[in-house]
Structure 1
Amino acid sequence: MAARNITKSFFAKSQSEGVGATVRRCIGGSRTLDPFLLCDIFEVTPPSGFPDHPHRGFETVTYLLEGAIAHEDFGGNKGIIGPGDVQWMTAGRGIVHAEMPASRMPSRGIQLWINLARENKKIEPAYQDLKDKDIPRAKPEPGIEVKIIAGESFGVKSSVFTRTPTMIMDFKLEKGKKIAQIIPKDHQGFIYVLNGIGYFGGNQFKGEEHNALFLDDDNNGDHIPVEAKDGDLRFILFTGKPLKEPMVNYGPFVMNSEEEIFQTMFDYDKTTNGFERAKNWHSSIANGVTELQ
């Protein structure tokens, strides 16, 4: 088997986002990696948060590490995710929602935006909610644990349906442990180091806490080796199959052309063509009504 290498990395600095939240951005703006549009490691404490806002044309994956986050949308869907839980939201043809902290302590997590293929951009909104206890783990040997949010590791598969082929996994390695994760040859990907120091790829690239590491796209590579030489290590692996379609990104809207973006802005402004339920809708959680846990 040929190993993938790490070709570039950077330190994800903390910056302001939303209303009083802070994020460390791995992907976003001019730095995209088909099919990924954005990846933020966020931290938010009441009354800060992400009040009512729209989306169209992609999916959001929220993986909570600490605290609690409440969600509410214009279709009447409500819920709270806690540590280790995942909410996989398909915005499709349009949704307006709010995400606000539901814990007095800081809530920290990861939000990933995944682009949808042209034929999926106008589907109805949908959710896949996963509790921590229901997310499968692989433990190939003592001192190694892989939490499989999407994809497959060591014969253990996630139940998540990925409209855009995607792998998301949370790895924990004790000091001295090594692992080799299989990656489809047609996937691109990156790694975010949550804690510790690791050596990644066939070139043994050193990655430290808050580093974003990008895999090469050599189609001969079918796995990524990782070693925790210097202490315990925790990192998240993201890979996806590129859509290779035209993309126009305008804030919370991602379509295939400028004309489709203009149409989306018109639809949102006039509350039509998927945004009908946005008319006169305001979430309760954006006003701080959510019961804190």
Structure 2
Amino acid sequence: MTKIEGQSQEKKVKRSSGSAFKLTIVSLFIALACIYYKFSAVTEVHDIKLGARNDQDSMASQNRDYDQLKDNNDGINDDRIYRSILTHFIAGEQEEGVGARVRRSVGTYQMRRFTPFLMLDDFTVAPPNGFPDHPHHGQETITYVTDGMIAHEDITGSKGVLLKGDLQFMTAGKGIVHSEIPVTTKDGKPCRGLQLWVDLPSDMKNIDPRYRNLRGNETPVAYPNENLEVRVISGKSYGVESLRDLAYTPVHLYHFLANKTGTEFVQDIPEDFNVFIYVMKGSIQVNDVELTTFSSAFFDVDGNAIRGKALSEDAQFAIIAGRILDQEVIQHGPFVETNREKLMEVFRNYQEEKNGFENAHSWRSSIHDGISEEEALKLYRE
């Protein structure tokens, strides 16, 4: 703003004493008015600067106002403390199963484990490759298909097919042998998805195996604004809550899709949960750190929320959180226990085909050599 300065010029004019008095009163009034104006202008500038500073600190989206965010995400929570990043890196590609390529973030030398998480694979697989018959013990797996189709079958006789958007929660418990094979589709597209391995609490490592499926059309979706979509697989986001708990170990899983650069997001996290982000497509910014495709960021437990914004027009990322388990982890491949003695017992059970591994060495899945799209869709409808 321009500073207003008044100058007075003395004119050598003879006036009466009454006129001089009136002139003095008028001059005093003008001076007071100028002081008031200047004070008001300074106050106005101060308020504008303060408002701008508050706007910069706010996590309200560029595309929605305060009231919209309050309605959709339980409000701008004054108690939110945003977590800091422990480490971040791009997941390297490696071969897994038979001919499958995966980008692994958890379960590598960069992040061996992040309780309760044991592994996260971003997999891309096409027939005749896949993940044929193999065992598990002491953990749960969560498989989320983002493109294509994949079939599964286990030693108990359970069979099923996951389409795009579907999820499967498998509890290995005391032991299971199963197979996961991509479907041969007419368009020849590979299957892509995420598979997360989650540790089981020590007192649940020998429970019976189970499967729980969630179809894509059963997953609640939050729409905070026209530029942001959140698939609430497990947990609560922007006031939308998942339908049910699908894993024994409490896990929150969200698939965020932002279609405009600059779109902001915020997600509350329970204080006793670990949380990390995995970028599936595009790029985002979190805590002044840019995360590109295939990047992961792991957070400290120094807050109760995380926030960021999209840096590309079509960003997709998963926010994955789970309750911290205060227990030892002794792992050898797909077998997970809390001490070496128990792990050796699991190996003996597998070798001797008992306690969940009955007929493990003679069993061969019917999908081992592949499955057609027609067969898969028939199985899907059963």
Cα drift, residue 280 of structure 1? 2.5
Once residues 68 and 207 of structure 1 are traced to their aligned partners in structure 2, the CA distance between those partners, rounded to angstroms, is: 28
Amino acid at match of 2:231: K
How far has the Cα of 1:29 moved from its partner? 4.4
SS state at 2:343 partner: helix
2:227 is aligned with 1:227: no
SS at match of 2:225: coil
In structure 2, distance between residues paired with 1:188 and 1:129? 24
**Residues 282-293 of structure 1: pairs in structure 2 closer than 5 A:** 282-288=364-370, 290-292=371-373
Q: Which amino acid aligns with 1:51?
A: P
SS at match of 1:267: helix
Aligned residues: 288
Identify which range, 270-279 or 16-25, moves more after superposition. 270-279
Q: Distance in 2 between matches of 1:230 and 1:47?
A: 34
Q: CA deviation at 1:229?
A: 4.1
Q: Structure 1 residue 179 and structure 2 residue 265: aligned?
A: yes
Matching of residue 125 in structure 1 with residue 204 in structure 2: no
DSSP-derived class of the 2:124 partner: strand
Q: Give the alignment partner of residue 182 of structure 2, picking from 101, 104, 127.
A: 101
**Letter of the aligned partner of 1:15 in structure 2?**
Q
Distance 1:173 1:29 in 2: 28
2:327 aligned residue: 245
Residue 75 of structure 1 corresponds to which residue in structure 2?
Answer: 156
Structure index of larger Rg: 2
* SS in structure 2 of the partner of residue 139 of structure 1: strand
Aligned partner of 2:124 in structure 1 is 43
> By how many angstroms is 1:5 displaced?
2.1
Instruction: Measure, in 2, the Cα distance between the counterparts of 1:213 and 1:40.
Output: 15
Identity %: 42
CA deviation string 1:175-221 (max 9, x = no partner): 23111111111111111111112111xx2221111111111221xx1
What is the alpha-carbon distance in structure 1 between the residues aligned to residue 108 and residue 332 of structure 2? 10
Residue 62 of structure 1 deviates from its aligned partner by: 0.5
For structure 2, the residue ranges without an aligned partner over 5 or more in a row are 1-79, 375-382
In structure 2, distance between residues paired with 1:43 and 1:232: 20
Q: 2:97 aligns with which of 1, 10, 18?
A: 18
Query: Please, what TM-score do these two structures have when normalized by structure 2?
Result: 0.73
The Cα shift of 1:7 comes to 2.6
Shift of residue 130, structure 1, vs aligned partner: 0.9
More helix by share: 2
Give the distance between the partners of 2:84 and 2:253, measured in 1 at CA.
18
Give the one of 73, 78, 86 matched to 1:7: 86
Structure 1 gap segments, 5+ residues each = none
Say if 2:313 is the partner of 1:207.
Answer: no
Query: By percentage of residues, which structure has more strand?
Result: 1
Q: Is the 8 A contact 2:169 2:246 kept in 1?
A: no
Work out whether residues 75 and 277 of structure 1, in 8 Å CA contact, stay in contact via their aligned partners in 2: no
Determine if the alignment matches structure 1 residue 266 to structure 2 residue 348.
Answer: yes
2:195 to 111, 119, 134: 111
8 Å CA contact retained: 1:117, 1:243: yes
Q: What SS does structure 2 have at the residue aligned with 1:217? A: coil
Secondary structure of the structure 1 residue equivalent to 2:304: strand
Deviation at 1:174, TM superposition (A): 2.5
Give the letter for the 2:274 counterpart. Q
The 8 Å contact of residues 149 and 160 in structure 1, kept in 2 or not, is answered as no
Please report how far the alpha carbon of residue 278 of structure 1 lies from its aligned counterpart in structure 2 after TM superposition: 2.6
2: distance between equivalents of 1:170 and 1:237?
7
RMSD: 1.3
Q: Which residue number in structure 2 is paired with residue 63 of structure 1?
A: 144
Q: Which amino acid aligns with 1:173?
A: A
Distance 1:195 1:287 in 2: 31
User: Mean alpha-carbon deviation: is it higher for 29-38 or for 156-165?
Assistant: 156-165
Indicate the residue corresponding to 1:154 in structure 2. 238
Q: Distance in 1 between matches of 2:304 and 2:247?
A: 20
**Is the contact made by 1:92 and 1:124 (CA closer than 8 Å) also made in structure 2?**
yes
Deviations, residues 5-40 of structure 1 (Å, cap 9, x unaligned): 223111112111110000000111451101000000
SS in 2 for 1:61: strand
Which consecutive aligned stretches of 4+ in structure 1 deviate over 6 angstroms post-superposition?
Answer: none
